[in-house]
Structure 1
């Protein structure tokens, strides 16, 4: 299968993961981040569907499930967008040294960082819904909530690392980290926000781990 044919929409899981296993970079870790977010959203939707709240919470559950379904679709779209950004990123670094290469790297790095930042922002927005399910969802599916948190953590961690790495790649054009921070303040700040999100996910997971894995508490 040709590289351009490997997408989350047109490929089976077997085909997509085979594409991920190849040394092409497209799909790569950023696209994998999007797929992990889709897994988290899918599990949130499933748990919400099994949750039978009182009448006062029915609308909350319905809205949560709708958001999760939209996020699953959007995350897969973002995964494919990252694959496109990865191809441009790799192509830029293969150019001959010079002004054209520097400009290509600068554009590709910022585009790739932006794609990862958008994905990370969407992942952060899902934390509240998983926290709600942990507290009010079907108790028999608490293990699924923990798995969803694990997938969400992978998505946030991947987005954070990719934004940081892509920004750092701008140093190959002669820019210092201080200059990069001044030139890309929003992308730079997104790394800190994603770091905070990781800490929150870890705290939430720790709170419910004993319910999901009771044998570990003995």
Structure 2
């Protein structure tokens, strides 16, 4: 059914839409939701799988670790979905800033939108980094029958980390359109600049952990 004239179609959100509706909205050429929101969704997938594996893991001598991991993962799933929706809203402001006529007003709007978007992606990236330890614990001490699920979770987590890293970097790079050089951006935004390198390191760590367990998850591939 088409949209009734004079009424806007309801905005798709991760918490109020079906998977079908949200991914259909993601497929549209609107940018909201876009890659940043997709990054949040990937983090939610990683958190969900972490919670599932933790729920199937545990023994008498684990000190309650799986239960702690599951609690953290469930909280992260909810936060990741909220971050995805927040990014979708920020994307609108980002696009609106670049549509303004060239001039001081546009430069200020672009600068503000770029920094807000970069900061949002950095928060998402930090949450993803915090999730690595729990998933790495499950990779070695969790239920061995679910190692394939751990690898899938790591794939989703890596996508979240890579997405956050790229979005922070791109948003900082967008400041060049206001006349700033990358050297200026690095001096003025040291924390956000450092976040990019931290996220690069996190991807390397995920790759290393995954490589150590891949022979168990995909035995026919390593044979």
Fold agreement, TM-score > 0.5: yes
Rounded Cα–Cα distance in structure 1 between residues aligned with 2:165 and 2:173: 12
Equivalent in the alignment of 2:114: 109
The runs of 4+ residues in structure 1 deviating greater than 2 Å are 1-4, 53-56
User: Contact 1:8/1:76 (CA < 8 Å) preserved in 2?
Assistant: yes
Equivalent in the alignment of 1:57: 62
Q: In the TM superposition, what are the counterparts of 1:129-208 in structure 2 within 5 Å? A: 129-208=134-213
Equivalent in the alignment of 1:9: 15
Question: Cα distance 1:161–1:152, how it changes in 2: closer, same or farther (>3 A)?
Answer: same
Question: TM-score, normalization: structure 2?
Answer: 0.95
Q: Any unmatched runs of 5+ in structure 2?
A: none
Equivalent in the alignment of 2:42: 36
Rounded Cα–Cα distance in structure 1 between residues aligned with 2:112 and 2:208: 37
Q: Any unmatched runs of 5+ in structure 1?
A: none
Question: TM-score, normalization: structure 1?
Answer: 0.98
Q: How far apart are residue 217 of structure 1 and its match?
A: 1.2
Task: Map Cα deviations across residues 121-147 of structure 1 (whole Å, 9 max, x no partner).
Answer: 000000000100000111110000000
Task: Map Cα deviations across residues 93-112 of structure 1 (whole Å, 9 max, x no partner).
Answer: 00000000000000000000
Q: How far apart are residue 55 of structure 1 and its match?
A: 2.2
